[in-house]
Structure 1
Amino acid sequence: MTQVLGFLATNPLLALVLIMAVGLALGKVRIFGLSLGAAAVLFVAIALSTANPEITVPPLLFQMGLAMFVYAIGLSAGERFFAEFKDRGWKLNLFLILLLMALVALAWGLVTIFHLKHTTGAGMFAGALSSTPGMAAIVSMVRGTTPELAAEPVIGYSLAYPGGVLGAILVAAIGAKVFKVDHRADARKEGLLPGPLLTQGIRIRPGLSGTLGELSQLTGVQIIATRIVKDEKHHELAEPSDPIRPGEVIVINGTRENIDCASEILGEQVDVEIDGTDLLYQRFTVSSSAVAGHAIKDLNTTSRGFLISRLRRGDSDVVPSQDAVLNYSDRVLVVAPEHMMDRIRGFLGDSERRLAEVDLLSFALGLTLGLLVGAIPIPLPGGNVLNLGFGGGPIVVGLILGALQRSGPIQWQLPYHANRTISTLGLVLFLAGVGTTAGAGFRSALTDPESLKFIAVGFIITVASALVCGLAGRWILHLTWDESMGVAAGMTTNPAIISYLNGQTGTELATRGYATVYPSAMIGKIIACQVLLILLT
């Protein structure tokens, strides 16, 4: 065994791939209905490097992994992040700031009560909240002292980091069982997992006015008119500019709940035969660079002879608004005459091969901007300087570019599957690399009882943070449990935790909470770690 460990220490690439393979395999194992997912890679890396601390992964690799992961998260969450900030995002970020202040006070009290070394205790606080930039900021504050003192924050960080991951995961798993969380029902209630979409004929009641494009505003629910029924065999496209005509029969698309709500306002439901008419439904995949990144209203589809009645992104099928922006790999259901279908296919692209040829130039440009933003020095009182680093800069830029969608000819968004693949690869690279940095600290903890204090205190801070997020999220902020745990994961800014949550829930609720608070948490923890060290010294 010693020879195998020595061989891996001299072959870091082989060690990296082995850690990834074993970790991903163990992550699929379910115990009591739970699995770690990609987070298992972290624990495999810690175990292997504890057995031989010389097994390491070059920092450049896991730094790149983290940058790729958070940038991809930012791209996918950017549009929703800015759309929701004015309604609920500011509340979550204010809550996060108050929680950070409370955690600093808790850490100061625990370090004082247990008579822990101040510099090691500050590093432990960074590890408990999984803040690598925070730990680096502490190291920069004590730089210029003895080498032993400068190493203490790193030791504290490495001791608390694994518990910082495991504690949050345990709170999420146990809380889901205690509160009997129905992940899919919660996501459906929040509009992130809509029910099946149906078509329904409606005979417009007298007294209504406006246009067919205003039906959602008129009824208060998301529906879309797709057809105007002339007779059993002849239907016309329902253009958004067409007026609402009392007595006319239209066909609308929506969930059963939305259709029933809309019919109470619009008129009676009637049976309409769709098959055999002169309009067809057909699915196409968006792969054209001329379409991706544009809102449906800007594409003026009715002038091209078709309407988009449904939009499928990932596993969610929704009725799109005219403001909805189409992305690469979106599957759209169009309504059009049969003879127009080939022309529509050419316009939208509908090419799997084109989607496989991912534009890595835009990805590289965006990631470069993110890393440059992360390198910008931000002066603090007392002569200290912080920066967002390779984790904070890319997600901030990713959120902005994800909301912009495109800049002139540059399409920032990635195809759905490419985004998921890149983010997962980046995640496991980061987990494998950062896990190997904790081995030496864990090895010493096995022989030094004092180290167990740092592990225990760090675990308490982690659990307290996750519990407050979960309970306050449910009872004060009125969030679902999954989104509350997404906020807890965002507080830690730890990819392993959000990866676990996404794997367990199978919805986007946790990601919504994670992306909403991640940028503020990244910056806030850097400041909090430095404030704690100042308070302790």
Structure 2
Amino acid sequence: FVGLAFGALDPNLKLPEVVYNLGLVLFVYTIGLSSGSVFFGSLRRQGMKSNLLVLGVLLLAGALAAAAKVLLGIRTTLAAGMFAGSLTNTPALAGVLEHVSATAPAALLEQMSAEPVIAYSLTYPIGVLGMLLVIYLLQRVWKVDYHAEAEQAREFGVAQEPLESCTVQIGADQSLSVAELVARKEWDVIFSRLKRSGQVHLVSGQDHLLAGDLISVVGRHDDLEQVTAALGVPSTERLEFDISVYDKRRIFVSNPSMAGRRLRDLRLGERFGAIVSRVRRGDLEILPHGDTVLALGDQVRVLAPHEKLTQVANFFGDSYRAVSEIDVLAFGLGVALGLLVGMIPIPLPGGVTLRLGIAGGTLVTALVVGALGRSGPIIWEMPYSANLTLRQIGLVLFLA
């Protein structure tokens, strides 16, 4: 709205088209890059249902925008801007502007380019508030169980329930090894320290638990209760605070060779006698497993012998400055690929040719390379903080 107010002061007070195109590319590329793995993971699980739901929402919004154009007699450009703004869909607005710039008469280009932006700016706040209102009403009509929703969200790696730790005293000898127990009972926990006969060591999958052992467990609250009930009773002794042999440290993943690699491939136990008990990515705390893939900017909590912690830190990089930088070559190459994909003509029946455009091509490419993580020496992912910064800069430039 501030931008609209300043633009109304003088028709010549405007930015070149390349500025908001650059902002759009930055915004869309960083969004796709951070969402690639989750996007394809959700497609494998609930792809058809989710896509049909989204398609239905888009068709309904399009029908309402078309009805508003006919009933209210508004221009097509304004209706298209209303459609994009009501859905808070910035890439859709970019597609509209790209189409207008390619088809509008030269004499009307400036006016027709401004109208979708105005309609978008006016309907965007209503789109946000309207969605919040609908969510508020439907969660009461449908009696949404947020706890159950959080449980289902774990499979997509987006659960927000904090991780906890506890110490369990084993009640009876276990015939199965730790790895077999976890697999058979499907426990989503990490066993870290084991104390037996006064000696503390890190848990391995081949360990068999004996009566009287103390074992430290990391996981979410309900899982910890389930494990405790199955193995024994809670202990008042907290092994996670015992640093007599093993210490813990949060370490930044800044070494480029770590990006896109699974934890099990790092062989931390063999190299350093260490394990990773937690991974923090942005505001999300992840319970790590062997298949957990690391990204630049992750913070890993490592348990290791005192004399090995420095070596482990150097192995991961542990440089805050490094995780605030981006790989300019990989970033530029990804953006260039996105722009090229957007220019590819897609023939449709009736002699119509479709192009994904700047927004569509960049988004599709970013989703793919974001899911890949790395291609040989090229690391497509960027640190979380750098991604957020570029995303905000892109949005500001686009809306300017």
Sort the Cα spacing of 1:307 and 1:276 in 2 relative to 1 into closer, same or farther, 3 A: closer
The DSSP-based 3-state class of the residue aligned with 2:249 is strand
For residue 58 of structure 1, what is the aligned residue in structure 2? 16
CA drift of 1:173 comes to: 4.4
Letter in 1 for 2:360: G
CA drift of 1:261 comes to: 1.5
| 1:288 aligns to 2:247 (yes or no) | no
| 1:113 aligns to 2:80 (yes or no) | no
| 1:396 aligns to 2:383 (yes or no) | no
Sort the Cα spacing of 1:201 and 1:75 in 2 relative to 1 into closer, same or farther, 3 A: same
For residue 201 of structure 2, what is the aligned residue in structure 1? 236
The DSSP-based 3-state class of the residue aligned with 1:323 is coil
Q: Provide the C-alpha distance between the structure 2 equivalents of 1:276 and 1:120, rounded to a whole number of angstroms.
A: 65
User: Structure 1 or 2: larger strand share?
Assistant: 2
For residue 161 of structure 1, what is the aligned residue in structure 2? 120
For residue 479 of structure 1, what is the aligned residue in structure 2? none
Q: Provide the C-alpha distance between the structure 2 equivalents of 1:302 and 1:318, rounded to a whole number of angstroms.
A: 20
1:103 corresponds, among 61, 65, 68, to 61
| 1:170 aligns to 2:136 (yes or no) | no
Q: Provide the C-alpha distance between the structure 1 equivalents of 2:121 and 2:246, rounded to a whole number of angstroms.
A: 58
Letter in 1 for 2:255: S
1:261 corresponds, among 212, 221, 226, to 226
The two structures have a TM-score, normalised by structure 1, of 0.64
Q: Provide the C-alpha distance between the structure 2 equivalents of 1:59 and 1:213, rounded to a whole number of angstroms.
A: 58
Q: Provide the C-alpha distance between the structure 2 equivalents of 1:357 and 1:155, rounded to a whole number of angstroms.
A: 36
The DSSP-based 3-state class of the residue aligned with 1:287 is coil
Q: Superposed, which structure 2 residues align to 1:38-437 within 5 Å?
A: 43-116=1-74, 121=79, 125=83, 131-136=92-97, 139=100, 154=113, 156-175=115-134, 190-191=153-154, 192-203=159-170, 205-206=172-173, 208-209=175-176, 211-213=177-179, 215-232=181-198, 234-242=199-207, 248-274=213-239, 275-304=242-271, 305-432=273-400
Letter in 2 for 1:339: E
1:222–1:321 contact (8 Å) kept in structure 2: no
CA drift of 1:296 comes to: 0.5
Q: Provide the C-alpha distance between the structure 1 equivalents of 2:234 and 2:367, rounded to a whole number of angstroms.
A: 42
1:123–1:138 contact (8 Å) kept in structure 2: no
CA drift of 1:214 comes to: 5.1
Q: Provide the C-alpha distance between the structure 2 equivalents of 1:123 and 1:311, rounded to a whole number of angstroms.
A: 41
Sort the Cα spacing of 1:249 and 1:429 in 2 relative to 1 into closer, same or farther, 3 A: same
The DSSP-based 3-state class of the residue aligned with 1:395 is helix
CA drift of 1:50 comes to: 1.9
Q: Provide the C-alpha distance between the structure 2 equivalents of 1:403 and 1:225, rounded to a whole number of angstroms.
A: 29
1:138–1:153 contact (8 Å) kept in structure 2: no
1:184–1:193 contact (8 Å) kept in structure 2: no
What's the C-alpha RMSD, in Å, of the aligned pairs? 3.3
Sort the Cα spacing of 1:376 and 1:124 in 2 relative to 1 into closer, same or farther, 3 A: same
1:373–1:394 contact (8 Å) kept in structure 2: yes
User: Structure 1 or 2: larger helix share?
Assistant: 1
The two structures have a TM-score, normalised by structure 2, of 0.84
1:124–1:156 contact (8 Å) kept in structure 2: no
1:188–1:194 contact (8 Å) kept in structure 2: no
2:263–2:293 contact (8 Å) kept in structure 1: yes
2:173–2:209 contact (8 Å) kept in structure 1: no
More RCO (CA 8 Å, sep 6+): 1
Q: Provide the C-alpha distance between the structure 1 equivalents of 2:327 and 2:213, rounded to a whole number of angstroms.
A: 47
Unaligned segments of structure 1, at least 5 residues:
1-42, 433-537
Sort the Cα spacing of 1:55 and 1:171 in 2 relative to 1 into closer, same or farther, 3 A: same
Q: Provide the C-alpha distance between the structure 1 equivalents of 2:379 and 2:102, rounded to a whole number of angstroms.
A: 41
1:203–1:270 contact (8 Å) kept in structure 2: no
Sort the Cα spacing of 1:104 and 1:218 in 2 relative to 1 into closer, same or farther, 3 A: same
1:279–1:336 contact (8 Å) kept in structure 2: yes
1:68–1:426 contact (8 Å) kept in structure 2: yes
Letter in 2 for 1:288: N
1:212–1:244 contact (8 Å) kept in structure 2: yes
